[in-house]
Amino acid sequence: MTLLNAIIQGTLLGGYYAMIAVGLSFMVGVMRIINLAHGSLAIFAAFFLLVLSQKFGISPFLALVVVLPAMAGIGWLLQRGILERSTRAGPLVPILSTFGLAIVIDNLLFEQFGANTQSLAPSIGSLSYDSWALTDTIYVGKLAVLTFAAAVALLGGLQLLLSYTTVGLAIRATSEDPDTAELIGVNARAINATAAAIALVTVAIAGMFLAMRATFDPYAGSLQLIFAFEAAVIGGTGSLWGTLVGGIVLGLAQSMGAQIHPQGFLIAGHAVFLLILFTRRFWTVQSFKLLAGMLVGSRTA
């Protein structure tokens, strides 16, 4: 029963990791940009929601009405002002520039809000601690289930957008070959900015769930970035549904690790991430050798 509980809680936690990885995965897979400011932008969105909900006494969900368009606008500016210029200078430069941006955001938040830990949990009433009883011993948090459902909905929504809408097709075409996309009538610059706007909308939603389920402070972004990275890499970078799988694998690993040892939570997650990373490398080398062996074999035969 403990094991089953660990699996259920781990899977739900995985939904949260998938949620914070969506924007990162979308940017890597579709825009070919590694955004190291991802975590810091999520924390920025969390503070934004916090300020609105405290100042006007509204629920964070209602505050999204303001924050989502604002973050979309920031995404647009980010692409036009930073990413577009740095991508022109080479594929590695955006990594540096977004790393710098992360430092700027973290410190601006620190200057404004200080080192206190904050949370949106007080703004959402009983949702932060309510749960459903599955059996006598297994309970699932309503917020955790909501987070999981939101992650699935967000990933599914993005997948539908990319497969069926003109904007989605244009985003995919532009990511593959912006020059040719222009030749069939796609405004590649505008499409890239739109993609960045979409990515930051998902970052804002991730920031909200992060702030509702736990506490955060101005420097919390880098840890979120690591979790997002691990989920995205485990699932296969750039694959949207893979991101969900990656998040669940990470969540399960952490949840199992905590069963083995009370402090095994984080280390088990990182260990599984590294294991998968190395296994993947090993597999490609192995299959390459196998192929080479077959070719040599057929020649001598």
Asked whether the CA dihedral 120, 124, 128, 129 is positive or negative, the reply is positive
* By CB under 8 A, residue 267 contacts another protein: no
Angle at 226 between CA 2 and CA 246, to 5 degrees: 55
| CA distances from residue 164 to 16, 150, 159, 172, 193 in whole angstroms, order as listed | 26, 21, 8, 11, 19
Phi, psi angle pair for 58, to nearest 5°: -110, 165
* By CB under 8 A, residue 276 contacts another protein: no
* By CB under 8 A, residue 187 contacts another protein: yes
* By CB under 8 A, residue 172 contacts another protein: yes
* By CB under 8 A, residue 160 contacts another protein: no
| Chosen residue from 116, 126, 135, 166 binding another protein by CB under 8 A | 166
Nearer to another protein, 56 or 164 (CB): 164
As a whole number of angstroms, the distance between CA 204 and CA 92 comes to 25
Nearer to another protein, 163 or 215 (CB): 163
As a whole number of angstroms, the distance between CA 244 and CA 251 comes to 10
- Exposure on the CB side of residue 253, measured as CA atoms within 13 A: 22
| Minimum gap (Å) between residue 163 Cβ and another protein | 8
| Chosen residue from 33, 50, 78, 186 binding another protein by CB under 8 A | 186
Nearer to another protein, 123 or 243 (CB): 243
32: left (phi over 0), alpha (psi -120 to 50) or beta: left
* By CB under 8 A, residue 286 contacts another protein: no
* By CB under 8 A, residue 180 contacts another protein: yes
Nearer to another protein, 14 or 235 (CB): 235
Nearer to another protein, 112 or 180 (CB): 180
| CA distances from residue 134 to 1, 8, 18, 122, 126 in whole angstroms, order as listed | 12, 10, 23, 26, 19
* By CB under 8 A, residue 184 contacts another protein: yes
| Minimum gap (Å) between residue 182 Cβ and another protein | 4
Part in contact with another protein (CB under 8 A); list of ranges 31-39, 92-100, 175-183, 213-221:
175-183
As a whole number of angstroms, the distance between CA 229 and CA 251 comes to 13
* By CB under 8 A, residue 130 contacts another protein: no
Site residues, another protein (CB under 8 A): 166, 169-170, 172-173, 176-177, 179-188
